[in-house]
Amino acid sequence: MGGTSSERDVSLSSGLRIAEALRERGHRVLAVDPARGPISPDEEAAMRAAGVVKTVPPTPEELRELERTSRAPALGTFPEVREADVVFLALHGGQGEDGTIQALLDMVGVRYTGSGHLASALAMDKDLSKRLFHAAGVRTAEWLMAGAAVGPAPSADEVERALGWPVIVKPSKQGSTVGLSLVREPVALAAAVEEAGRHDDEVMIERYIPGRELTVAVVGDRALPVGEIFPKHEIYDYECKYTAGMAHEKFPADLTEECAAEARRLALAAFRALKLGGCARIDFRMTEAGELYCLEANTLPGMTPLSLVPQAAAAAGMGFAELCDEIVRLAV
């Protein structure tokens, strides 16, 4: 838990909660932060008492300093890792979710939860994942890309012709809506691209899909009940996700049986298109006409008290400790 991504605080919150749940199920749990190293029981207790998720993510400057001193390259040498039966990955974003840590664990022969290194990398790259969704028959919003590997940013005229307004501008390989902007008019495009570019070397410009915000958690080969999110802001942003009272969720969502079944079917199709494993969360927008557009797949979704996957599990009759135990079982 922890790491050096912009979702560090969320990851620490997830990890602390998971560790407590697994201990309830009788597991011996050791906490490790790839950025800082093993976390002692006293340090863990202090973090738990203080709380770790703030209303804004760490700044890029703070993260660069963490990366400079990170112990992640030595992760495979830690006894806590090498001698583990299973490494439960509670990392979000960055090297923890993009396949880097997964590849390192593959190299040292340690089992871990969630998806493998290739699937993790594909899901983290929103451009590649949308191409695979499209190939699998899962509808996704039209998009354009900008960045060193894909070409310069399109002009406002090009965006208007291809996508219309408004559009979503976001880093291609980030989560928790970090660096994301809703752009309604041409004059705001350049600043939004610049902001997204502070968090990633590639930027996605995507047609905005108005409608209801839906989410489907997949555990193993099972799609859990569909949930609906009602954020206080127009976009389900970082503050809404991690600040109590800034959003509420309903599980199961108030949908027809047919629509809920279709959302679960598409979630499983997206899960399989990316060759995901363990537990993942697939997010959708549903238009007034009932069309479902897949937004993205989250291979290591949040497990904080406000997170969506635990709520979906509860709607399926599965407690949080049971959910964590099942994720471990899938890894074994």
pLDDT value at residue 268: 98
Q: In what order do the strands lie in the sheet with 181-183?
A: 143-147, 202-207, 167-171, 181-183
Write out pLDDT tens, residues 276-305: 999 999 999 999 999 999 999 999 999 998
Residue 198 has pLDDT above 80, yes or no: yes
Kindly state the greatest CA–CA separation across the chain.
59
Residue 251 has pLDDT above 90, yes or no: yes
Higher pLDDT, 178 or 225: 225
Checking if the pLDDT of 178 tops 90, the result is no
**CA pair distance 117, 330, nearest whole angstrom:** 16
Give the pLDDT band of residue 242 (cuts 50, 70, 90). low
For residues 190 and 22, is the Cβ–Cβ distance under 8 A?
no
Pairing of strands 31-33, 37-39: antiparallel
Give one word for 76, left, alpha or beta, with left for phi > 0 and alpha for psi -120 to 50: alpha
**pTM of this prediction exceeds 0.85:** yes
Catalytic machinery residues: 7, 176, 242, 281, 283, 296, 298, 302
The CATH 3.30.1490.20 portion of the chain extends over: 143-207
Task: Identify the pLDDT of residue 176.
Answer: 52
**3.40.50.20, 2.60.40.10, 3.40.50.720, 3.20.20.80: which CATH number matches 8-114?**
3.40.50.20
Write out the two tokens for 240.
């809404």
Which alpha helices (DSSP H) does the chain contain, by range? 8-24, 41-50, 60-69, 79-82, 94-97, 100-108, 117-124, 126-135, 156-162, 189-197, 238-242, 257-273, 308-315, 320-331
Q: How far apart are CA 117 and CA 131, in angstroms?
A: 18
Half-sphere exposure of 213 (CA within 13 A, CB side): 18
Q: Among residues of the chain, what percentage have pLDDT more than 70?
A: 95
For domain 143-207, give its CATH number from 3.40.470.10, 2.40.10.220, 3.30.1490.20, 3.30.365.10.
3.30.1490.20
- pLDDT, one tens digit per residue, over 64-85 is 898 899 998 899 999 999 999 9
Structurally, at CATH architecture level, domain 123-139+210-331 sits in 2-Layer Sandwich (3.30)
Q: Is the pLDDT of residue 102 over 80?
A: yes
At 50, the pLDDT band (50, 70, 90 cuts) reads: confident
Residue 221: DSSP 8-state: T
Decide: helix, strand or coil at residue 295. strand
Residues of the chain with CATH 3.30.470.20: 123-139+210-331
